[in-house]
Amino acid sequence: MIWHITKREIYDNLNSLRFALTTVLLLALMVTNAVRHLREHPKQVQRYRDAVAESLNQLTTHAEESLYKLAQYGPGNFYKKPSPLHFCANGSEPILPDTIKVDDPIVFGTVGSSDSYEETVVLHGIWTLSYPDANLQNKDVGPDVSQVDWGFIIGYVLSLLALLFTFDALSGEREHGTLRLMLANSIPRHTVLIGKFLGALFSISIPFTLAVLVNLLLISTSSEVHLTTEAWGRLGIIFCLALLYTSLFLALGLLVSARVQRSAVSLMILLLTWVTFVAFMPSTLASIASSFSPAVSFDKYWKQRNPVQEDLWDKYGNRLWSEASDEETLRAKSGFYIDKVDNSERRSEARLRYRSSQVHRARAITSISPATLLQHLIEAFAGTGFERHLQFVENTQRYARQLREFVVDTDRGDPESLHIINVREGMSQKPISPAAVPKFEDTFDLSQDFNTRAMELLLLGLFVVVLLSGAYLAFVRVEV
Amino acid sequence: MLLTLIRRELLDNLMTFRFAAAVFITLLLVVANTVVLLKDYEQRLTAYNTATQESHQRLRGQETYSYYIGKLVAHRAPNPLSIFNFGLDKRVGNKITVYHAFVPTIWDAEKHGADNPFLNLFTSIDIALVFQGILSLFALIFAYDALAGEREQGTLRLVLTHPIRRGDILFAKYISAMLCLLVPLLISLLLSIVLLTTSTTIFLSTNDFLRIGGIVLTSLLYVLLFYLIGLCISAMTRRTSTALMLCMFVWGFLVLVYPNMILTAVETTPQPEAYISDHQQIKQMWEEWESARKQFLRNDPVLGPLSRNGEGWGLKLKGVEYSFGPREDKPSILLYFYQTGFHAGKIGAESEPQVPLVQDYHGFYSRGTLNTVNRTWLVRKPALAAIYIQPANLGRTLLKFSPVGLYDAATEAWAGTDLAGIQDFFSAVQRYRRAVLDHFDDEKIFESRQWFAADHGTADWDALPQFSFQRSDIITNAKRALPDLFLLLLINLMLFTIIFLIFVRSEV
């Protein structure tokens, strides 16, 4: 019986104007998305490859020169690998930095006498990780719009279309009197409701699936974009997410449609709910949430940072400027370099952590809106967005540790070295084979994403269940 | 008769659920957002004040003139009307260094750094955006059954049995819709203005109120445009539910889909890579000048010969404490410059005869530098316009095919947060840089001893001209907003004529 009603619904919808408009709209959006991706993605990948090749080149040069050079200059900048699923969610990538810089060592020197210009003591320092601020590279003064990615299409357009498909599902039939006719047969009400729900879901899935297929067809036929099996798996998950999210709005539509007498009023209520929950609430709540914790100004940050740096100079004191190269002096220099780098990295990491905790708080609060939930989920599975950025940061930190350990271990293998790391006189001067040096690889894996996002997934499912049962309760008690 | 019609329409509309919903939702969103925006503005203002103070102190802490880069800074105060439309106010940098070795532009500006840039991940909503989304929706909701509904119920036939012209009916509907939509617009704006005036940090001048008036006018025209779109659909369709659905599709397309889709489809992101040759040219000009300078030093019997890298840090003066070489190389904004300098606390007596030579050298150095800056600016200015301004303007023009783009552009222009308004500030900074350089020239500061040494009197920063910036006057704002406003009006008239034609010819 359910199937019967579903079929009727689908036939009804297939012939309607809204079905045609939906198909055209979704197709246009998905084609735009694919075209954009085909234009942008190869460029991005090329830029990434060039940048990585340059970093690798630096690493090789330093390694071939000596272990000390490698310890001093480090591996060259780190670059975030562009996700092949960038078209699903662009994840505000223009705002997020795609680089983590490896700062060159800062050299301090003293000039002995003014005539010679010969530096007597030079402190060389070693490389430091620094996290560039967001948005600094973005100098665009054009209009501010969101990119048409799957997240936008599903989150905004598909949800609006879902409401347009269900607003008159029950109230419209009641207006026409067909509902009474249908219920005069021995059909239980929940069957009608489920039939309606499935019918609407199928009829909206048809244009959506079509648009998605066209989109993927366009993208996968291009020789420059390669989608791996894992990427297809992720796309499958995103597609299911889209259906879940659409069901949420279908259920909402049914709920309101069951309670309200006239379909025009029902659409109005639905639209207002949509505008409030999808369009406005995420941003407003984010602004409110982010204003809870005060921002730390740059000058304040410097003021906190400088005393610590000065303490360091005091701690190692005169030993640093000594011209002698006995072991004690070298050890002091080594300790100074390591402490200095450690300090500055710890500070910038703390700053980053403070900022990301602010962002996390704002994100948690905005999760009340299903649109934000969906956005987070799609970003997670597409491998873009803020969480991905943090993952990238974590990857580089892990690699930095690994490389530093590698330097220590290799140095230990050289019998001529004094094993005083980061000081020229105390370290192995031998070249090392670049192949032996660990290389940085930016990775992201599916199972991890799935675990961290399970909560949000459950929340989204819960929304659907609550709304559906709400619609059932409303429909059972309503008089026809 | 027209009055009776208007009164009837007005009463019909005012007593409905949708009117109550319109007022309530608009009020809720506007008030909630105003509170948030106000807080945000206050934070930005505090950040501006602290930053201004800090850079003031840092400049005063400088004993010699030469190392004033990064200390002489012009700060851009947040625009109080950015609450109505952010425009570029929050996005563009608000701290710009004034230095003789480059001409300051929008792209050289940085942020105070007080805020968390990652929070830009969340889109922020201004009042224009609320109106843009919600009032247009309400306009359509008011309009969809204006004709189709009356036709369905048969009241239209009834009305037309009286000797009333059809144009009058349309006009009455238009006027009453205007009045009805004005209510939520004005009430919510009034409340937000009340909230603004209770805040102690925000001061609105008479001109600001006039600008807000301009925003109200623009909003009204924008909303009426959507009402007419709805009326047009209503005149063309037989059934109200079809009309409503079509209205929603049109709304979704114009407000939601078109602006994002067109800018995704058309490439409007800046492509600085295409102008890398200009950057090379600029770099080369600087390198030429560098070698000329080194030549000058090398030929000088006293100041030369130079150190092994040819820099001549400190020019062999006794008492030099530190030297510096501010350098920028940013291909994406075609910024390149290179300077060297040093600071001496007290110049040793044995170097004293050398000091006039060093002063002369600095005069030569600054003249050459300024000359190079002027030459590079001739290359840099058009290139920057081609990289950044042209695509931005293209994007804005494309957006104007939707009323949303027109509305956004016009309200930005009223608020003074559009590109032209922001550029006013940077032109002021450029003028200020000129004034500072003139002052340096008049007082012979480049050639003075205080340029590099602090022993015979220190730098007098208070004599420097002060930077001040006044937002453009209301007339300029109006001039910038007028084309879009005019377009909105024109589309209104056009749509009204079309509806009139459809309605006159349609059978009831």
Over residues A27-48, the pLDDT tens digits come to 999 999 999 999 888 988 898 9
pLDDT at residue B18, as a whole number: 84
Domain residue ranges in chain A: 68-141+296-426
Strands (E), B81-184: 95-97
pLDDT in tens, B470-493: 888 899 999 999 999 999 999 999
pLDDT at residue A311, as a whole number: 79
Yes or no, beta carbons of A134 and B117 under 8 Å apart: yes
Q: Are strands B327-330 and B341-344 parallel, antiparallel or unpaired?
A: unpaired
pLDDT at A323 over 60: yes
Smallest CA–CA distance, residue A238 to chain B, in Å, is 21
Quote the CA–CA distance of A426 and A417 in Å, as a whole number.
Answer: 6
pLDDT at residue A422, as a whole number: 80
Of A168, A275, A356, the CB nearest to B133: A275
* Local confidence band at B226 (pLDDT 50, 70, 90 cut-offs): very high
Chain A CA closest to residue B149? A264
For A328-331, the CB contacts below 8 A with 24+ separation are A330/A418, A330/A420, A330/A423, A330/A425, A330/A426, A331/A420, A331/A426
Of the listed ranges A44-58, A68-82, A275-289, the one predicted with least confidence: A275-289
Give the closest residue to A168 by CA, choosing from A275, A252, A254. A254
**For an interface test with A, which of B28, B119, B130, B251 has the most A Cβ atoms less than 10 Å from its Cβ?**
B119
- Give the mean pLDDT of A451-463: 88
- Give the mean pLDDT of A191-211: 93
Question: A360 — contact with chain B (CB < 8 Å)?
Answer: no
Decide: A19 and A13 in contact? Cβ < 8 Å: yes
Is the dihedral angle over the CA atoms B380, B386, B387, B389 positive or is it negative?
A: positive
Quote the CA–CA distance of B227 and B210 in Å, as a whole number.
Answer: 25
pLDDT at residue B353, as a whole number: 83
Q: Write out residues 41-60 of A within 8 Å (CB-CB) of B.
A: none
Yes or no, beta carbons of A114 and B320 under 8 Å apart: yes
Yes or no, beta carbons of B248 and A267 under 8 Å apart: yes
pLDDT at residue B432, as a whole number: 95
pLDDT at B231 over 90: yes
pLDDT at residue A116, as a whole number: 46
pLDDT at A290 over 80: no
Of A95, A133, A140, the CB nearest to B269: A140
Chain A CA closest to residue B55? A299
Of the listed ranges A153-157, A208-212, A337-341, B102-106, the one predicted with least confidence: A337-341
Q: Are strands B95-97 and B335-338 parallel, antiparallel or unpaired?
A: unpaired
pLDDT at A137 over 60: no
Of the listed ranges A71-85, A295-309, B367-381, the one predicted with least confidence: A295-309
Question: B164 — contact with chain A (CB < 8 Å)?
Answer: no
pLDDT at residue A383, as a whole number: 86
- Give the mean pLDDT of B329-340: 89
Quote the CA–CA distance of B307 and B165 in Å, as a whole number.
Answer: 94
In chain A, % of residues over pLDDT 90: 24
pLDDT at A459 over 70: yes
Distances (CA, A) of B193 to B132, B218, B258: 18, 17, 32
Domain residue ranges in chain B: 2-272+385-505
- Give the mean pLDDT of A16-33: 93
pLDDT at residue B427, as a whole number: 94
Sequence letter at residue A140: D
Smallest CA–CA distance, residue B351 to chain A, in Å, is 11
pLDDT at residue A33, as a whole number: 92
Yes or no, beta carbons of B244 and A264 under 8 Å apart: yes
pLDDT at B457 over 60: yes
CB-count exposure of residue A271 (10 Å: 0-12, 13-18, 19+)? buried
pLDDT at A113 over 50: no
Query: What's the distance, CA A236 to chain centroid?
Result: 18
Decide: B203 and B80 in contact? Cβ < 8 Å: yes
Tally of CB atoms within 10 A around B17: 12
Contact residues, chain B, for A29 at CB < 8 Å = 257, 261
pLDDT at A243 over 60: yes
pLDDT in tens, B47-92: 899 889 888 888 988 888 888 888 899 999 999 999 999 888 888 8
Highest mean pLDDT: which range of A348-362, A458-472, B314-328: A458-472
pLDDT at residue B8, as a whole number: 85
pLDDT at residue A23, as a whole number: 94
Give the closest residue to A361 by CA, choosing from A455, A295, A462, A288. A288
Quote the CA–CA distance of B297 and B310 in Å, as a whole number.
Answer: 9
Yes or no, beta carbons of B265 and A287 under 8 Å apart: no
Q: Which residues contact A126 (CB under 8 A, 6 or more apart)?
A: A71, A72, A74, A105, A337, A338, A341, A422
Question: B302 — contact with chain A (CB < 8 Å)?
Answer: no
| Residue in the block written with tokens 């939702």 | B25
Chain A CA closest to residue B24? A272
* Local confidence band at B216 (pLDDT 50, 70, 90 cut-offs): very high
pLDDT at residue B209, as a whole number: 92
Strand partners, B320: B344
**Is the link from the previous residue into A188 a cis peptide, with omega within 30 of 0?**
no
Q: Write out residues 434-463 of A within 8 Å (CB-CB) of B.
A: none
Distances (CA, A) of B168 to A32, B22, B238: 44, 26, 21
Question: Helix (H, G, I), strand (E, B), or coil: what is residue A161?
Answer: helix
**For an interface test with A, which of B36, B122, B318 has the most A Cβ atoms less than 10 Å from its Cβ?**
B122
In chain B, % of residues over pLDDT 70: 97
Q: Which residues contact A140 (CB under 8 A, 6 or more apart)?
A: A94, B269, B270, B388, B392
The DSSP annotation for B37-65 comes to HHHHHHHHHHHHHHHHHHHHHHHHT--SS
- Give the mean pLDDT of B387-406: 93
pLDDT at residue B307, as a whole number: 54
CA dihedral A77, A78, A80, A82 (to 10 degrees): 70
pLDDT at residue B287, as a whole number: 93
Smallest CA–CA distance, residue A426 to chain B, in Å, is 28
Yes or no, beta carbons of A134 and B122 under 8 Å apart: no
The overall average pLDDT reported for chain B is 88
Query: What's the distance, CA B493 to chain centroid?
Result: 30
**For an interface test with A, which of B264, B273, B380, B404 has the most A Cβ atoms less than 10 Å from its Cβ?**
B264
Tally of CB atoms within 10 A around A241: 23
Chain B CA closest to residue A97? B118
pLDDT at residue B423, as a whole number: 92
Quote the CA–CA distance of B117 and B68 in Å, as a whole number.
Answer: 27
Distances (CA, A) of B484 to B126, B323, B488: 20, 54, 6
pLDDT at residue B455, as a whole number: 84
Decide: A236 and A146 in contact? Cβ < 8 Å: no
Backbone angles phi, psi at B496, to 5 degrees: -60, -45
Question: A355 — contact with chain B (CB < 8 Å)?
Answer: yes
- Give the mean pLDDT of A418-437: 82
For B290-297, the CB contacts below 8 A with 24+ separation are B290/B338, B292/B368, B293/B364, B293/B365, B293/B368, B296/B361, B296/B364, B297/B361
Quote the CA–CA distance of A42 and A61 in Å, as a whole number.
Answer: 28
Distances (CA, A) of B380 to A478, B306, B331, B387, B388: 71, 32, 11, 10, 12
pLDDT at A295 over 70: no
List the structure tokens of B146: 């204006």
For B278-286, the CB contacts below 8 A with 24+ separation are B278/B334, B278/B379, B278/B380, B278/B383, B279/B331, B279/B334, B279/B336, B281/B379, B282/B334, B282/B336, B282/B376, B282/B379, B282/B380, B283/B329, B283/B336, B285/B372, B285/B375, B285/B376, B285/B379, B286/B336, B286/B337, B286/B338, B286/B372, B286/B376
pLDDT at A105 over 50: yes
Smallest CA–CA distance, residue B265 to chain A, in Å, is 6
Tally of CB atoms within 10 A around A465: 12
Chain A CA closest to residue B107? A139
- Give the mean pLDDT of A380-388: 87
pLDDT at residue B113, as a whole number: 63
Question: B246 — contact with chain A (CB < 8 Å)?
Answer: yes
